[in-house]
A and B are shown apart, each in its own frame.
Chain A
């Protein structure tokens, strides 16, 4: 979680300060997929951009789930949320493919 103060704390201002690289959720991706995923190749189902999963933009601070978006078109490539029993729901419709 972050506070308004933290959003002002940097000398490099920007409104999308909360955007991370998917590398930040690499541990959970590994837990879900059973493999190191940040170097896995993917293709955006919306714009066709090919990228390693680790380079997708991750929105994972404070929200109900984690959303990974294409760095070119900003559409959702992959998202997941953790259920109370510890299982994960994973939506990969935004990926034309992920290479395992």
Chain B
């Protein structure tokens, strides 16, 4: 065993909370909202912003910002877990459910996977089963205010039951595919699905 240097008194910012049912294994609870970044904040003007659903659908559909705001929306209060080990409880979003969005298209029966694509080029992939039945939403409000750019505004995907790298910031649409297609991190060492409850952090887990 290596001679590890332990620094007296250092515990880190982890809260020593009763793990209970809500903190997935290997996670620490945080009250902050750390900003994850893989690139610069995009600045698409709202007048140019659209949200598309395309791919294996009868007809692609696209909403402008005003049209998107007019869709049925509601508040979601969910816990979120990042693969870098922090979990934040009771985050409050204002969002349109992905179910609501998919009601506007006819899914081809070959469609099995959803690729979320975003300003700046980020992508993430999900089986359709992971984004329906109230499991995923496209949020444009956080904590009672418009979603800030550094947190993914104007709109981001939120998929609370999977690690937060799947909750793509600056989302511009969903593409329905027959074939799975690993996204930015899934193709690069991270797990294809990312279920925090069974610690699917890395490919090979």
Q: Mark B34-46, 1 if CB is under 8 A from A, else 0.
A: 1111111100000
Which one of A1, A18, A84 has the highest number of Cβ atoms from chain B below 10 Å of its Cβ?
Answer: A1
Within 8 A of B (CB), among A13-68: 15-19, 57, 59, 61-65, 67
Contact A2 B39 (CB under 8 A): no
Tell me if A100 counts as interface (CB < 8 A to partner B). Answer: no
| Cα–Cα, bound, A17→B149 (Å) | 12
| Cα–Cα, bound, A64→B39 (Å) | 12
Question: Which of B30, B35, B165, B201 is close to A18, meaning CB atoms less than 8 Å apart?
Answer: B35
Contact B188 A18 (CB under 8 A): no
| Cα–Cα, bound, A75→B120 (Å) | 9
Q: Which residue of B lies closest to A20 (CB)?
A: B37
Q: Mark B159-199, 1 if CB is under 8 A from A, else 0.
A: 00000010000000000000000000100111000000000
Contact A18 B84 (CB under 8 A): no
* Given A81-B189, A89-B188, A91-B188, also A61-B35 (CB < 8 A): yes
- B interface SS class: loop
* Given A7-B150, A89-B188, also A18-B39 (CB < 8 A): no
Q: Which B residues lie within 8 Å of A91 (CB)?
A: 188
Q: Which B residues lie within 8 Å of A74 (CB)?
A: 39-40, 120
Q: Which A residues lie within 8 Å of B82 (CB)?
A: 62
Contact B39 A65 (CB under 8 A): no
Q: Which B residues lie within 8 Å of A63 (CB)?
A: 36-38, 84, 165
Question: Which of B30, B32, B38, B202 is close to A67, meaning CB atoms less than 8 Å apart?
Answer: B38
| Cα–Cα, bound, A7→B165 (Å) | 21
Chain A nearest CB, measured from B88 CB (Å): 11
Tell me if A99 counts as interface (CB < 8 A to partner B). Answer: no
Chain A nearest CB, measured from B127 CB (Å): 20
Contact B84 A19 (CB under 8 A): no
* Given A63-B84, A64-B83, also A81-B190 (CB < 8 A): yes
* Given A3-B32, A84-B202, also A59-B188 (CB < 8 A): no
Contact B41 A64 (CB under 8 A): no
| Cα–Cα, bound, A63→B36 (Å) | 5
Q: Which B residues lie within 8 Å of A67 (CB)?
A: 38-39
Q: Which B residues lie within 8 Å of A61 (CB)?
A: 34-37
Within 8 A of A (CB), among B1-41: 13, 30, 32-41
Contact B84 A62 (CB under 8 A): yes
Given contacts A74-B40, A81-B190, 10 further A-B contacts (CB under 8 A): A1-B84, A2-B35, A15-B150, A18-B37, A59-B40, A61-B37, A64-B84, A65-B38, A74-B39, A83-B202
